[in-house]
Amino acid sequence: MNWFQELLANPALTEALPEAFVETLVMVGISGVFTLVIGLALGVILHVTAPGGLRPVSWLHVLLSAVINVTRSIPYAILMVALIPFTAWLVGTSIGPIAACVSLTIGTAPFFARLVETSLREVPSGTVDAARVMGSTRGQIVRKVLLPEAMPGLVASITTTLVMLVGYSAMAGLIGGGGLGRLAYNYGYQRFDTAVMIATIVIMVILVQLIQWIGDRIVRAVDHR
């Protein structure tokens, strides 16, 4: 059991790792909430303002669509660096998990918005027509018809987005975000501490599996189709 005692004696594993794990959870948690709220709003606006939508507004749809496409075409590794001045201005610092949340949210919200738009588009037009014929207002159609009917797709999209955030948060760690990404880089890469590298990978895999498993369970519970 020599190697096990060695592991327990390694402060990188006993002290830095738990701290880094919490930082990762904070990053994914905070940016996750912002991404879901902003992305959901953008996705609904995209769908509603589209030609033939509930309230077609051509210029808004084109503008929003363009902004989302531009943001999505910038690789996250570049986006997070490019956003450093903006982050410093917005939250007062460009270092740490809170600062990382800014670029994480801006990097993933447009992606989630597109997934939301796709899910909403899958609600049959006949269902929306029925709601209109029954005298629903546009707000009622969004809240009582579009979102509930698209719920299985939306939950699956949330799962995908959170998994992506876990990956991005590790990248954010490299430029001062902290978390498991930074731990793996500092110890695993720069100090050749293989144990830390492996432990980080195992934790990431478990975290992603857990998110996916919970997401799939919720999809099954809300899917009545």
Partner 1 sequence: MISIRDLRKVYRQGEREVVALDGIDLTVPTGAVHGIIGHSGAGKSTLVRCLTLLDRPTSGSVSIDGSELSTAADRDLLQARRRIGMVFQHANLLDSRTVLGNVAYPLEVTGQDKAGRTARARELLGLVGLEDYEASYPSQLSGGQRQRVGIARALASDPRVLLCDEPTSALDPATTDGILELIRDLSDRLGLTVVVITHEMHVVKKICTSVSLLDQGRIVEGGVLTEVASDLGSRLSAALLPLPEAALDTAGPLVEVLGHGPAADVPVSTVIKDRFGHGVRVLAGSVEDLAGVRFAHHLLALPDGAEGRTDGADAVVAFLEQNGYRAAQRTRTQVETAQGTAQDLGGAQ
Answer for which of 52, 124, 190, 192 binds partner 1 (CB under 8 A) is 124
Q: Which of 121, 215, 117 is nearest to 166 (CA)?
A: 215
Q: Which segment (25-33, 36-44, 134-142, 165-173) binds partner 1 by CB under 8 A? A: 134-142
Do 120 and 39 meet the contact criterion of CB atoms below 8 Å apart?
Answer: no
Contact pick of 41, 70, 130, 198 for partner 1 (by CB under 8 A): 130
Nearer to partner 1 among residue 56 and residue 148 (C-beta): 148
Pick between residue 11 and residue 224 the one whose CB is nearest to partner 1: 224
> Which stretches of the chain are DSSP H helices?
2-9, 11, 17-49, 58-73, 76-82, 84-91, 97-121, 125-133, 138-140, 147-149, 151-172, 179-183, 194-222
Residue 25 tokens, joined: 């959870």
52 binds partner 1 (CB under 8 A): no
Give how many residues touch partner 1 by CB under 8 A. 21
Interacting residues with partner 1 between 144 and 173 (CB under 8 A): 144-145, 148-149, 151
Structure tokens at 6: 């060695």
State which of residues 73, 78, 133, 192 lies at the interface with partner 1 (CB under 8 A).
133
Q: How far apart are CA 197 and CA 174, in angstroms?
A: 14
Q: Which two tokens stand for residue 213?
A: 């498993």
Per CB under 8 A, which region of 84-92, 135-143, 153-161, 179-187 contacts partner 1?
A: 135-143
In this structure, the number of other CB atoms found within 10 A of the CB of residue 85 comes to: 9
Residues between 205 and 224 with contacts to partner 1, criterion CB under 8 A:
222, 224
* Residues that bind partner 1 in the complex, under the rule CB under 8 A: 124, 126-127, 129-137, 140, 144-145, 148-149, 151, 222, 224-225
